Amino acid sequence: MDLKPNEYRLFTIVVEGAHCGGCNWESSHQYVLAKTEEEARQLYEDGEAGLCGDCMCDLIVEAGYLVANPKLLQVQKEEIGDFDRQD
């Protein structure tokens, strides 16, 4: 899937005994926003990313991210036209 410059996917990295980069709670599932799985793993290994589910949800809400399923967006575009346009 090709992503636009400002589009990211959410990846899960499972590491036993890992700690969240936000709240520092132990969480074996770390979530990373990245373009590719390789980028997500590299960001996590470099210590630049990795949040528990609660902290990732807070980030998504506070930053105002749009979470969308690409397949559903395609259906919406076909039904209502290009929703990215500025009217």
Q: What is the mean pLDDT of residues 56-80?
A: 77
pLDDT category, 74, cuts 50, 70, 90? Answer: low
pLDDT category, 69, cuts 50, 70, 90? Answer: confident
**Three-class DSSP category at 45:** helix
Residues contacting 11, CB < 8 A, separation 6+: 31, 32, 33, 34, 37, 40, 41
Amino acid making up residue 59: L
Q: pTM of this prediction?
A: 0.73
Measured between alpha carbons, how far is 42 from 58 in angstroms, rounded to an integer?
23
